[in-house]
Amino acid sequence: MFLPNDLSYIISEFAEERENYFNAVAPPIMQTSNFTFKKVDDLRKAFADEMKGYLYSRGINPTVEILRKKIAALDGAEDCLVFNSGAAAIFTGVLANVKSGDHIVSVRNPYSWTKKMFDVILPRFGVTRTYIDGRDIENFEEALQPNTTLIYLESPNSWDYALQDLKAVADLAKSRNIITMIDNSYCTPLYQQPIDFGIDLSMQTATKYISGHSDTLGGVLSGSHQMIKKIFDSEYLN
């Protein structure tokens, strides 16, 4: 994906192919559940890979695709998925990288809904977690177990604003084949791009600062195309 560096261009024009909608300044909202095809073969191709075209708006929708591309560009990521809430983005990103018997290392005092997911929901399916003070990289090393598959970060933290060394955590995780995910809602990509430090998945709740007007509910999840495609085909669509 082409990643422009001009912030104002990304926000105002990038991914907006205005010739496709009569050169309107604001992209239209495509309020349709599904899309038609001229040939049955075209429909079959769309079913084979819903991420490559417009088939059903639960997957890819022209309006949502503009937002996906903009957020990915802002994050410095290859791809992005958009959700109807921040909680949905968090849960999908986590669920895609754990299974029964797995272990998660998380910074202590995460966002309240995230903590409920770790403490109440995931244990029902055999997923355990360890909370640590994320300010010291040694705490991550000591908390890792043979079945650790995910490290979950918030930098700054939701409650005490504690920071983590993202590059050090990313390097440690990659040396153990562990996925890293961060809630970047406080900074947004305008002030911090975790992907640049080697973090695998960067999540934001669009309900907060990325919108900022208390009139939006949503969540976004950015990462490599390979990882986003894997999530899209499984947890996102199903």
Instruction: Quickly state the pLDDT bin for 109 (edges 50, 70, 90).
Output: very high
CATH code, residues 7-30+61-236: 3.40.640.10
pLDDT surpasses 90 at 111? yes
Task: Quick: pLDDT tens for 147-189.
Answer: 999 999 999 998 999 999 999 999 999 999 999 999 999 999 9
106 bridge partner residues: 131, 152
What would the DSSP string read from start to end of 60-116? --HHHHHHHHHHHHHHT-SEEEEESSHHHHHHHHHHTT--TT-EEEEESS--HHHHH
In the chain, how long is the greatest CA-to-CA distance? Answer: 59
- Supply the DSSP string of 179-215, one letter for each residue: EEEEE-TTTHHHH--GGGGT-SEEEEETTTTTT-SS-
Question: 185-230: per-residue pLDDT in tens?
Answer: 999 998 999 999 999 999 999 888 887 777 889 999 999 999 999 9
Sign of the Cα torsion 118, 231, 62, 71 reads positive
Helical (H) or strand (E) element with 225:
helix 225-231
In tens, the pLDDT along 124-136 reads 999 999 999 999 9
Do 148 and 101 form a contact (C-beta atoms < 8 A)? no
What residues pair up with 126 in beta bridges, in sequence order? none
Does residue 1 carry a pLDDT above 50?
no
Q: What is the identity of the amino acid at 102?
A: D
What digits encode the pLDDT tens for the residues 15-68? 888 888 888 888 889 999 999 999 999 999 988 889 988 989 889 899 999 999
